[in-house]
A and B are shown apart, each in its own frame.
Chain A
Amino acid sequence: MDAQMKRGLLETCVLATLRRGESYGYQIIKDLSDCIQISESTLYPILKRLESVGCLYVKDVPHNGRLRRFYGLTVLGEKRLDELFDQWSEVIRVYEFIKKEALQ
């Protein structure tokens, strides 16, 4: 898949998987693995970017004698996800168009 496209998709996937509730890096990767492969070093900048623009909050929770960093959706994150989701209907329309034209 095109890198740029994958990045945009991953961002949406991360937001979507966090709508269920807070999660941590390793779990996010596992949750996404069913639909899209993502490495730790790909996930890190996505989480960082989403946090820096206020879509995510982070909190460190004690776990087994260490801290586990959880990520959760902020109000903005939820709105962002809704916006991205709304854009999908448009993407699907474009896809249908491309498919029709390309297969002629």
Chain B
Amino acid sequence: MTKQQFLSQLAGNLISLDNTERERILSYYAQMIDERMEDGMTEEAAVQTMESVESIAAEILAEHPAKSQQAVPAQPVQKKGGKGWIVAVCVIVGMLILGIVALAIAGLSLVGCVTNQVLQTQGHGVQVELAPQYSVDAAGSNAMFDPVQTDALQVNWEIGNVYITVSDVEEITLHEEGSLDLDKYPMVLRTDNGGLTVNYAQRTVFDRGISLIKNVDSKDLYVELPADWMGAVTVNVDVGTVTMEGGVLARVDIDAALGEVLLYNVDAKAIRIDADMGNVEVDARFDSLEAYLAAGNLELIAQQGSGRIEHADCDAGEIRIEGDFTYADVDNDMGNVDVVVQGKPQAIDIGCDMGDIDLTLPEALGFMMEAETDMGNTNIHFPVEQQYYDDDRVFTVGDGGCKIELSCDMGSIDVQQG
């Protein structure tokens, strides 16, 4: 059997499912066959090793209770004989027309209360799903969906937890009106094709977080959080800039494939940024920070009271760090490193394969420094009280409290007083 035959048969067995779910299942099994073929099997062998179409369909259908049983309300029992069947037909036709009208209206604008049910609306390529786990409280809910604007979606709600999947929309704006209880469920926002804007007007304290996932797009992602927000934010973006402003966060985790990452006035226990292409700008207070950049510049301002810069790694690009931190481990393969220290760090370790290191230290800082460059000059413009030029070129200033290691393969080292 070919892959196509297998999938057609499977589709035939899943005819009772809705199109979206059926397509999803078919794509899942198509991928399984593709993976086997990539492992070296022939198409036929790959299909051969799959479970039978019938057993797959049986297993899937067992997970999906027949829709007709759920959706159609019990019909009143008609008296036998007479013209009951005509009445029944009229009732059903009437209900169908009403249903179609209702759907048409819903397609334009849907404002209403939702209780423990899945609201799924499709129109202009927009799909909003409120899964039952994230049901909106009937008393205070207001789920508004306006697909008339084909390129924008706005969802307002007051009470309840929401899970939203948007498959094709230019922009989503989510605005929290009241106290959204995210203690039980964090919010997951996902868009396959669109920008994502999240505004939190006010926030009660909670320890869960939000995940923002954006798959393919040229639009940007923007998150604005109030000052008292406590939670974790995970962001995954393939294309587009990630901007985050404000918020007191347990953890920020950002993966950006293409595009910049901009973090302003964020206060977080831990920040981790992974950027493949594009610059990263961070102006934040943090307990620990890790930033990995493949191509692009890193500009980091560590606000007062910041902790450890565990890793600031660039493959190619400039690194500039300024501010108050206790520890920094900086690595740049290609490009310069410029660090301006304002606080009293315990240790600084800077490695630069190709590029210069510029380090500015506060006047009052005592340190013990090891500085070496294979090709380039080492200039210490610092009023060193004690200065030893031995093989390791160790310079000690003041109490020697801060341990500094600077190493360059190709480039100069310049240390000056701030």
Interface size on A, residues (CB 8 A): 26
Within 8 Å of chain A (Cβ to Cβ): is B264? no
CB distance from B268 to the nearest CB of A (A): 13
- The answer for the CA separation of A39 and B234 in the assembled complex, in Å, is 30
CB distance from A3 to the nearest CB of B (A): 11
What A residues does B391 contact at CB under 8 A?
none
Q: Do A74 and B36 form a contact, CB below 8 Å, given A57-B213, A59-B238, A79-B208? A: no
Consensus secondary structure, chain B interface: mixed
What A residues does B90 contact at CB under 8 A?
none
* Surface stretch bound by A, among B23-31, B99-107, B148-156, B402-410: B23-31
Within 8 Å of chain A (Cβ to Cβ): is B68? no
What B residues does A75 contact at CB under 8 A?
186, 208-211, 232-234, 251
Is A57's CB under 8 angstroms from B55's CB?
Answer: no
Within 8 Å of chain A (Cβ to Cβ): is B32? yes
Interface size on B, residues (CB 8 A): 40
Within 8 Å of chain A (Cβ to Cβ): is B222? no
> Which residues of chain B (55-78) have a CB below 8 Å from chain A?
55-56, 59-60, 63
* Surface stretch bound by B, among A10-18, A41-49, A87-95: A41-49
What A residues does B363 contact at CB under 8 A?
none
Is A64's CB under 8 angstroms from B236's CB?
Answer: no
Within 8 Å of chain B (Cβ to Cβ): is A83? no
- Which one, A25, A57, A66, contacts B28 given CB within 8 A? A25
Is A64's CB under 8 angstroms from B38's CB?
Answer: yes
Within 8 Å of chain A (Cβ to Cβ): is B308? no
Is B133's CB under 8 angstroms from A45's CB?
Answer: no
- The answer for the CA separation of A60 and B31 in the assembled complex, in Å, is 11
- Which one, A39, A60, A64, A68, contacts B51 given CB within 8 A? A39
Can you list, as one digit per residue, whether each of B206-220 has a CB less than 8 Å from chain A (1) or not (0)? 001111010110000
Is B31's CB under 8 angstroms from A69's CB?
Answer: yes
Is B51's CB under 8 angstroms from A76's CB?
Answer: no
- Which one, A25, A26, A52, contacts B133 given CB within 8 A? A52
Within 8 Å of chain A (Cβ to Cβ): is B200? no
- The answer for the CA separation of A30 and B192 in the assembled complex, in Å, is 27
- The answer for the CA separation of A75 and B185 in the assembled complex, in Å, is 10
Within 8 Å of chain A (Cβ to Cβ): is B188? yes
Q: List 6 A-B contacts (CB under 8 A).
A: A25-B32, A40-B51, A40-B56, A45-B63, A67-B27, A75-B251
